[in-house]
Structure 1
Amino acid sequence: MATQETQDAIVIQDVVKSFKKRTIKGEYTTFKSELVSWLRGQRRARQAGLIESLRGITLNVPRGKTMAILGRNGSGKSTLLKLITGIYTPTSGNITVNGRISALLDLGAGFHPDFSGRENILINGIILGMSRAEVQAKMNDIIAFCELGDFIDEPVRTYSSGMYMRLAFSVATHVEPDILIVDEILAVGDEHFSKKSMAKMMEFKRQGKTIVLVTHDLETVKRWCDVAAWIDGGRIRRVGAPAEVAEEYRKAVAIAEAQSVVFTPPALSEGGLPQVPEEKAEVPQAESAPVGLSVSLRDPSGEELRTLSPEQPVEVQIDYTAREGVEGAEFEVALEKGDGTFLYRTSTRIDAVHLPKPLPSQGRLRLQSGRLGLLGGEYVLAVRVKVAGATSQAASAARCRFKVVSEREDAGLFRPPHQWVVEAVPAVRPEEQSLRLTAS
């Protein structure tokens, strides 16, 4: 048998998780109508049915490593984390957790809204396996880290989402867990606490703690994690080096968007994301759409950018493949904040760009900009192509995310070109002022 030092932190063996399917249409009824229906023998039949959220997951999380869990919404990531933490029990299969586990899942989960922050620290610490004395000994450190000030003695129902997150993160990371489970909760909060929480996570890594992280930020996966697992349609698609798994996942999402593939959760469909072809994954040929797309942000030398400064010159590079005889295409570029806030949109039609008729089978468009002038934050570049005569469902789309890092303290969304001019205004002598008044 493996020793405590060499065994994996989490061992998941052929785990299946099913939920009962609701088959009766949710209609508003009254007690009287239900009683009358029952007396008349008109009871609605209930059909047996199950929703399979996870379908035979086998995965080992190495001790002391940080593992990223990737996958689109509805693929089963959060269900897997709730199985690991014991919130759910598997329908079949086994999960073994070696060590004390702490989790940051749903925001504010486990907090009683009418208790103060201090009281909830005590309750959550005990739930996570600490004694009352241990929680009391760490109480001051937890309060200092979450920076809630006098609010620590107020009911948590008065807290904002950011305050909830601070308190939850502080408790979860101060109970000395061997394994930390994080489900996208670090996306909540201001920039100051985000940096502080990431520093705490780095401290965990240096201490040899095991971290399981669900995130959609592929750059964080590549830069910060030791191993990555991709879940698609309730099954493990791939496990391996973070950069390789993240890139394959990104390409599959790009292909799905280019082909207008609508993702459905595993309960509704056996399919997931399309397989990534071995060649030309960056500019896939769509089957259902006339034009396939991929998009990236690059510097003037052609190097792909994921992080840039407000003043850095950039260009949007759009690679496409087109079916034979495609005419009347319009390429549209939109800029959004990471939270979906719309910032700007233009297109080849708006800017009167001449496109070949018909489009070549393969081509590239480059939208050049001297500077974006955006302030620090996360942004999304979205590209769409519409073809005259094609249905809206056949429109192709592609997206890429990037981060702007600024050392300045401007506020808002963008930094317009500007400069300050300071001039000394000459003083008017009293006799000149008197002459001006007399003349008038």
Structure 2
Amino acid sequence: MTWSEPEFANLGRQILPAESITPILPVGMDSTKHMVVNMGPQHPSTHGVLRLIVELDGEQVVRVVPDVGYLHSGFEKSGESKRYKDFVYYTDRMDYASAMQNNLAYCVAVESMLGIEIPPRAQVIRVIMAELQRIASHLLWLATHVLDLSGTIMSLLMYAFREREMILDLFEMVCGARLTTSYIRIGGVWQDLPPAFLPRLKDFLALMPKHLDDYEGMLTDSTLWKARTQGIGVLTRAQALALSCTGPMLRGSGVKYDIRKARPYSGYENYDFEVPTSELGDTYGRYLVRMQEMRQSLRIVQQAVTNLPDGPVKTADRKVALPPRAELDRSMESLIHHFKLMTEGFHVPPMEIYSTIEASKGEHGYFIVSDGSAKPYRLHVRGPSFVNLQSLDTMARGHLLSDLVAAIGTLDIVLGDVDR
């Protein structure tokens, strides 16, 4: 048989010589003067399915264009076809390293639209979970960042994951899940803390400061760590603001902005804590900021545990939160509320809102438009990973290709938070 015979006709049309495929490069890239290479989307140092189109002059980065969309899941559009109460479970899957904070951001937005009050005990429990999640997220960042940049300090990967497992054990105690928790619900939290939770949490609070000392002892004055991070990925204060960076990316450039202080939610105005910043503006400065943030989170959790009040853990508004299961056997009204919530959900007054919280990676916000039904008319998520990612080109230009790995790591992106 030959390629001209009918059996191979369709196959032949699909196989094109390489020179017939014109490469489509971003505007401004010149493959005649510089080498253009792909980094990702399957690459361990891109921390997910992120494709980078890198223009190189030898080993020096001339330009970087992130090409996103390889993990696109359509969360926002899905949210417009789901009842308000049912979208909580989808929020876990965006920044899957910060599920508790995703839950909190969405619930705070919807609760503001409903105008309901959250019981004090539920507010404190939410703060505990959000700050434990911040520590867990930073530990994951630290472990992977160190692995990217320094194989000789690989033992820190094991240490950081060891402490993160302690936090995930606590999450499993309260809701049965470790990663996609769905514990924080509209109106409060799913259920109260189990009796063994607080003793285990106090043990963690007693152990964690010493572990942070160990991490800093291994990294802060390490010649190798400084060589890979100092002066790398610099963002000036003006650049960080112009690029809409938030979280450690912004505070690492000297801007003391934290939503927990600027626009407190969930009772954060009642806690005494500092907002760490660094004037360095480089990868090393952002490392220092995140290490201090973990200490401040421990400080907040300690205050929350000390002042944890008694009382209910979800709103008494039965039109929003499910009644206790015990009431269903003796109250027809509770049974009706349960039936209506499970079959129809609740209706939100017509309005629009933009509500944000300070997540581990920066400002995590929800823009929701209600038409008065049980589903959002429009839902948009402001993910910090997506917005912070646009600073990668600025940070990488003029550095070596190996330093691009440091720039990606210092962003602490999660692709589920980018490709929504």
TM-score of the alignment, normalized to the shorter chain, above 0.5: no
Normalising by the residue count of structure 2, what TM-score does the alignment of the two structures yield? 0.23
Greater RCO, CA 8 A, separation 6+: 2
Larger radius of gyration: 1
Normalising by the residue count of structure 1, what TM-score does the alignment of the two structures yield? 0.23
